[in-house]
Amino acid sequence: MASVRTRKRNARGQGDRLRSEIVEATIRLIDARIERLSLRAIAREAGITGPSIYDHFPDIESIRNEVIRSCYEDLIARIHQAQQGVADPVGRLEATCMTYTSYGADFPDRYALLFRVERDQDEKLAVGETGAAALQTLVDGIASCRDAGLSTSTDPYDDALAVWSAIHGLTTLRSSRPHFTRLHGDELLRSVIHRLACITSPPQPDA
């Protein structure tokens, strides 16, 4: 059971902060694997009264959608941080994929919310473009490798879908087979990335 939290009231004009606190409280409950996510449980975790939620969200579905957006934004921020200082396009692509798998390992329930739950059309529209932006990091990574002459990809989007499918499958297998050592090594992940992203050896300079 989630513990009761107390919170200081936000200063006048800072109502948006409470909206963020509701989302953060919901993410904490997801990480804690609460048996049933409810408005009452969220209010309790956020240290507010139940009716206060309705000033910001009409129902549990709208909170869930905002949580999904927030988690996608967090994943994208982690990818960009991992890419910083990596000049080699192949290295950046590898860093992107490794961030996906590490996110799944560190936050399995958030990861499941993003990638293992079926969404209806209304929910897809509510979440917006954040999911597409996460996939775009892979598309851009493969395109950069191709432009640098390090990939023979003719369709970075389709190849990104292949890489995306593979790394999600590997992430799932790592979770379900924790003692299968070969699944957990970076060498296997790099091999999968290189094959599906059509990575080649760097071009040799003219003699």
Q: Kindly write down the DSSP assignment for every residue of 100-155, as one continuous string.
A: HHHHHHH-HHHHHHHHSS---HHHHHHHTTHHHHHHHHHHHHHHHHHHTTSB--S-
pLDDT level of residue 8 (50, 70, 90 thresholds): low
Length of the chain: 207
pLDDT level of residue 152 (50, 70, 90 thresholds): very high
User: What pLDDT was estimated at residue 127?
Assistant: 76
User: What pLDDT was estimated at residue 9?
Assistant: 54
pLDDT level of residue 129 (50, 70, 90 thresholds): confident
Residue 199 in 3-state DSSP?
A: strand
Residue ranges of the domains in the chain?
Answer: 1-57, 68-196
**How many beta carbons lie within 10 A of that of residue 14, not counting itself?**
10
Q: Across all residues in the chain, what is the average pLDDT?
A: 87
User: What pLDDT was estimated at residue 175?
Assistant: 85
pLDDT level of residue 107 (50, 70, 90 thresholds): very high
User: What's the CATH code, domain 68-196?
Assistant: 1.10.357.10
**Between 63 and 127, residue with greater pLDDT:** 63
User: What pLDDT was estimated at residue 50?
Assistant: 84
User: What pLDDT was estimated at residue 182?
Assistant: 85
- What is the H or E stretch that residue 54 is in? none
**How many beta carbons lie within 10 A of that of residue 93, not counting itself?**
29
Residues 69 and 131: their CA atoms lie apart, in Å, by 8
Fold of 1-57: Arc Repressor Mutant, subunit A (1.10.10)
User: What pLDDT was estimated at residue 1?
Assistant: 44
Contact by Cβ (8 Å): 200, 151: yes
User: What pLDDT was estimated at residue 4?
Assistant: 46
- The 10s digit of each residue's pLDDT in 187-203 is 999 999 999 999 996 55
Task: State how far the alpha carbon of 17 is from the alpha carbons of 48, 109, 147, 169, 171, in Å.
Answer: 13, 24, 43, 37, 34
**Between 137 and 2, residue with greater pLDDT:** 137
**How many beta carbons lie within 10 A of that of residue 152, not counting itself?**
12
- The 10s digit of each residue's pLDDT in 166-189 is 999 999 888 888 888 888 888 999
- The 10s digit of each residue's pLDDT in 31-90 is 999 888 899 999 999 999 888 899 999 999 999 999 999 999 999 999 999 999 999 999
